[in-house]
Every structure is written in C-alpha cells, then in structure tokens.
C-alpha cells in the first residue's frame, strides 16, 4: 500500500526533514523553543509516520535512519518537558483519583467542550472540519496503543489485547473502527485517503496524535500510554453520544452516525475493562508506574484542551479552525473530482 505524499513544511526543522526524506540531507537546524508550535509538531508527526505507513517515495529503511532518530529524540525531549511542566503530577496523586476526575463535569465545563458545541450548535461545516482533523488518528485507530501490548504482563496484557481486538473489528474487517471512520468521512463528503488532511491540521491537532505515538514507541513510557488509553475509553462514551446526536440532527448519514453510536456502546464496556483490568493489572505488577499513568491521563487532557481552545473560538466567530492556507479545503461540500458524494446541508464552516 502506497503511503501519502509528504506534507508542506512549516518552518526550518520540518523543511530540513522533508528535504532529507527526499534525498537532499544538508543537516538540521536548531530546534525551536516552543515544542507545541507547528514546525516541531509537523516534524514529529512525519517522523512518527515512518513507523506507520510511511510516505510516497520515501524508502522504508528510513524508519531507522540514525540521524532521523537523533532528530526525533531531540523533538521528543522538548515535547515531553513541555508536557510535564503543563500537566504536573503530585507525589500523592493516584490513578484512581485521576480517572474519577475524568467523570466529573464541573459547572461551565461544556463551554470548552467540542462535543457539546457540535451537539448544540454545530453546522455541517463544523463536523466536517472536526472529522477531517480527527482522521489523522481515526484512520489508524488503536494502532498506537497496540505497541504497549508486548510491554504488559498477565492480567493487564490479556485485558488490553481484548479491548484492542474489539477496536480492530473482533475478526471482522468491515467492523475495524478505522474502516467505520471511512464510512463516516464518505457520508460527510470528505476525502478518505490516509493523511489527506495533514496540511490542513493545526499544531494542536497534530500534538494529540503525536502524544500517542510518543508514548507507544517508548517502553519507558508504557505507564503513560496506559493512562492515555484509559482517558480515551473513560471519556469516549459520553462524548460519542453527543457527537452521534450532532450528526443525527444534521442528517449526516447512517454511516456517520453509526461510527459514534458504536463507540457509545463499545467504550462503555471498555471503560470498565481498562480501569479495572488494564490499569489495575499494570499497577499490581508495577506499582511504581502510578505517577506515569497519572501523567498520561493529564497530558491527554491538556492537549485536548489546547485543541478545543483552537477550534471553538474560530467556530464561534464564524470562521474555520483549519490552517489558513488550507481552510478552503472544506468550504465546499462537493468533492466530485475525488469521487465522493455531496455532503448534506450548506457545508460551510461558521454559525
């Protein structure tokens, strides 16, 4: 299977990386101070994609190129330092308390919630933008989390494998969650090509995907990856219910609605398995990883909050949350040139 095309650069680091992947390696510049910025986040995303499907025209053996791995390590160190500073963990913090906090909805929390906004105010343009950005993960859903399975033991391993089995369709190719997301995108008139919307995605969207890859690729961060996965499963069912309601209200299509209704049912079960078997099993075997689990939970929430802070003001102001040079990508609902059906409704971002 051919990988996607390489994206456009967003700064000196990503420009040098993309040149190197095209065979013009002239060295890498100093890394930027802001680990959350577009340039380092794009560079990390591209480096991580070498471990997934790669890119068109890039040899597979570049996945383990020592110079690229050195660049990746530097970018990861800065990203991790920023996350640890912004999502601190106290000495007495427990995974149980952190997971309990995820189930609480403080007064006013809905004001910063993407799923609440889309359910109550979202237009077809909003849900198309949201789906386009989430496609960077959902078209490889569960893949980053699968890396943790060989790093777990006994009870935690068995439970994690059981949940991942469901994510991958429980043996039925048409039920693979990534495949179900293709149906959602088709109903919304979006291009379903893997990585198609990378150039349109702001740094905040890239960071949410990069976190999964960062935690999944490092055995030392296995506890944080379990914390990330637990966060996804605990928060998924109520958010998916709201998103299904949004898509139903907009008459987005049966496949679009089904993707989220499937997650309402599946993740309600997964939440209990992950909490009581994966997390509890991991900490029974390796109790010293508790702070890492909490860090994974909090880092996930921090990056999701940053993404919401990027998307919601743009949508409330009647604009697009996509990168400015790519915002026109979703302004028309018709993508007949790509062979996709027209979306239902006006298809425009904004309220």
Query: Model pTM?
Result: 0.91
Rounded CA separation 230/280 (Å):
11
Residue 4 has pLDDT above 70, yes or no: yes
Q: What is the pLDDT of residue 267?
A: 66
User: 208: which 2 tokens?
Assistant: 């949410």
Average pLDDT over residues 6-34: 95
Domains of the chain: 12-86 (no CATH), 95-338 (1.20.910.10)
Residue 309 has pLDDT above 70, yes or no: yes
Q: What is the pLDDT of residue 329?
A: 55
pLDDT, tens digit (0-9, with 9 covering 90-100), for 170-215: 999 999 999 999 999 999 999 999 999 999 999 999 999 999 999 9
pLDDT band of residue 79 (cuts 50, 70, 90) is very high
pLDDT, tens digit (0-9, with 9 covering 90-100), for 109-146: 667 899 999 999 999 999 999 999 999 999 999 999 99
pLDDT band of residue 340 (cuts 50, 70, 90) is very low
Rounded CA separation 132/126 (Å):
10
Residue 259 has pLDDT above 80, yes or no: yes
Rounded CA separation 179/193 (Å):
12
Torsion over CA of 238, 158, 259 and 130, rounded to 10 degrees?
Answer: 70
pLDDT band of residue 265 (cuts 50, 70, 90) is confident
SS (H, E, C) the chain: CCCCCCCCCCCHHHHHHHHHHCCCCCCCCCCCCCCCCHHHHHHHHHHHHCCCCCCCCCCHHHHHCHHHHHHHHHHHHHHHHHHHHHCCCCCCCCHHHHHHHHCCCCCCHHHHCHHHHHHHCCCHHHHHHHHHHHHHHHCCCCHHHHCCHHHCCHHHHHHHHHHHHHHCCCCCHHHCHHHHHHHHHHHCCCCCCCCCCCCCCCHHHHHHHHHHHHHHHCHHHHHHHHHHHHHHHHHHHHHHHHHHHHHHHCCCCHHHHHHHHHHHHHHHHHHHHHHHHHHHHHHHHCHHHHHHHHHHHHHHHHHHHHHHHHHHHHHHCCCCCCCHHHHHHHCCCCCHHHCCCCCCCCCCCCC
Residue 263 has pLDDT above 90, yes or no: no
User: 172: which 2 tokens?
Assistant: 């039925």
Average pLDDT over residues 235-247: 94
pLDDT, tens digit (0-9, with 9 covering 90-100), for 204-225: 999 999 999 999 999 999 999 9
Rounded CA separation 100/262 (Å):
24
Q: Average per-residue pLDDT in the chain?
A: 90
Average pLDDT over residues 302-320: 96
Give the CA radius of gyration of the chain: 20
Residue 80 has pLDDT above 70, yes or no: yes
């Amino acid at each position: 299977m051919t990988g996607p095309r390489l994206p456009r650069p967003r700064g000196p680091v990503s420009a040098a990386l993309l040149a190197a992947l095209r065979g013009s390696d002239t060295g890498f510049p100093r890394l930027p101070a802001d680990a959350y910025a577009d340039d380092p986040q794009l560079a990390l995303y591209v480096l991580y994609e070498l471990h997934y499907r790669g890119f068109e025209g890039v040899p597979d053996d570049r996945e383990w190129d020592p110079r690229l791995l050195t660049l990746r390590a530097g970018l990861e160190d800065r990203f991790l330092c920023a996350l640890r500073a912004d999502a601190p963990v106290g000495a007495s913090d427990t995974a149980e308390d952190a997971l309990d906090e995820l189930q609480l909805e403080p007064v006013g929390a809905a004001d910063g919630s993407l799923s609440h906004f889309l359910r109550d105010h979202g237009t077809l343009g909003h849900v198309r933008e949201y789906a386009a950005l989430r496609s960077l993960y959902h078209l490889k859903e569960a893949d980053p989390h699968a890396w943790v399975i060989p790093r777990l033991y006994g009870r935690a391993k068995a439970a994690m494998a059981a949940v991942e089995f469901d994510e991958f369709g429980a043996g039925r190719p048409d039920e693979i969650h990534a495949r179900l997301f293709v149906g959602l995108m088709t109903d919304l008139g979006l291009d379903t090509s893997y990585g198609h919307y990378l150039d349109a995605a702001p740094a905040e969207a890239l960071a949410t995907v990069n976190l999964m890859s960062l935690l999944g690729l490092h055995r030392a961060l296995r506890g944080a990856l379990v914390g990330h996965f637990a966060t996804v499963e605990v928060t998924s069912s109520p958010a998916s219910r709201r998103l299904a309601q949004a898509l139903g209200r907009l008459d987005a299509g049966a496949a679009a609605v089904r993707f989220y209704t499937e997650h309402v049912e599946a993740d309600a079960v997964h939440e209990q398995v992950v909490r009581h078997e994966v997390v509890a099993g991991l900490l029974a075997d390796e109790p010293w990883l508790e702070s890492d689990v909490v860090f994974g939970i909090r880092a996930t929430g921090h990056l999701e909050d940053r993404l919401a802070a990027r998307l919601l003001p743009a949508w409330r102001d009647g604009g697009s949350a996509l990168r400015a040079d790519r915002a026109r990508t979703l302004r028309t609902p018709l993508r007949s040139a790509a062979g996709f059906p027209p979306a239902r409704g006006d298809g425009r971002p904004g309220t």
